[in-house]
Amino acid sequence: MSAHSIGSATVSFGLVSVPVKLFSAGESAANISFNWLHKKDGARLKQQYVCSKDGEKVEDDDRIKGYKLADGRYVLFTLEELKTLEEPRGTGAIEITEFLPADQVDRIYTDKTYFLGPDKGGERAYKLLSEALKKTRRVALGQWAARGKQYLILVRPMDGGLAMEQLRYPEELRSIADVPIPKTEVKKAELDMAIKFIDQGTSEEFRPQAYKDNVRRRILDQIQQKVEGHEITEEPTEAPKTQIIDLMEALKASLKGGKGGAERKPAKRVEAKAAPKRKAAGGR
């Protein structure tokens, strides 16, 4: 099945322009959403805006956006004024400004990824950029003006095509230096054992297909059980077993378990039990 374009843009480097189409590189399937309903009649509930000062319900025409200042006051903006604050050249222009080795960009900067495909008339220039990046082992860094904003982006070659990664700006990132990490010593024997464990569990290639979202599958299975009229009851949780406190003993026990550490028991499943049959109206 062919992918569906979610937009178009123009990649420019030097005097070369490459018309492209944007495609989503993935779709999050992790979230299973549940709606709030009225318990009495099962109708969907609607959200309302309520004034925090007088408790009154506020209609759309009476709402206005504001920017909160450090002293707690708000600067008010109309929708027309907010429009003027947006990136005026939000035309989908992807402007390449420099090229650099791919390993120079830390993965912490990556926010989301798009696939780029050649648009009409841009096939040769598209292929040229893809091949040039691949041969030089470089990625292209630039900015993308879209949706009223300007994004930091990286374009890299991928399997004969191009992928565009939307990056975070430095001010959008926190520093690990802000995380409290107490100073402690690592014993050589423990380090050697940990390295041995890593070597034992090392794979030569990335195989994401080997992993499944078992929690999502379990939830969907339970939803189906409810659809079929079964009740969902959870089994009692077993008391936690005694943990190995000694770090060296824990490492040794992990190594004994083979590749990937000690063998783990599968998590307890939530069993579905048949709901009791209801008596027909008027029956005994």
CA 171 to chain centre: 20
Strand partners, 17: 12
pLDDT band at 240 (very low <50, low <70, confident <90, very high): low
User: Average pLDDT of 155-175?
Assistant: 95
Residue, of 76 and 226, whose pLDDT is higher = 76
3-state secondary structure of 16: strand
Structure tokens, 218: 């379990």
3-state secondary structure of 134: helix
Residue 275 in this model has a pLDDT that exceeds 70: no
User: Average pLDDT of 85-105?
Assistant: 82
pLDDT value of position 244: 57
Structure tokens, 219: 């939830």
87-91 contacts: CB < 8 A, separation 24 or more? 87/145, 87/146, 87/148, 87/149, 87/150, 89/145, 90/145, 90/146, 90/147, 90/148, 90/149, 91/145, 91/146
pTM: 0.69
Q: Please name the residues in contact with 225: beta carbons below 8 A apart, sequence gap of 6 or more.
A: 232, 272
Q: Exposed (0-12), middle (13-18) or buried (19+): which is 19, by Cβ within 10 Å?
A: middle
Q: Which residue has the tokens 């009154």?
A: 56
Strand partners, 70: none
User: Average pLDDT of 88-115?
Assistant: 88
CA 189 to chain centre: 38
Tell which residue, 162, 203, 187, 169, has the closest CA to residue 248: 187
User: Average pLDDT of 139-162?
Assistant: 93
User: Whats the size of the chain, residue-wise?
Assistant: 284
Residue 276 in this model has a pLDDT that exceeds 60: no
Structure tokens, 247: 């770090």
- Taking residue 234's Cβ as centre, other Cβ atoms within 10 Å add up to 9
- Interval 13-68: pLDDT, tens: 988 999 999 998 887 665 788 999 999 999 999 988 999 989 899 998 899 999 99
Residue, of 239 and 82, whose pLDDT is higher = 82
Residue 111 region by backbone torsions, left for phi larger than 0, else alpha for psi between -120 and 50, else beta: alpha
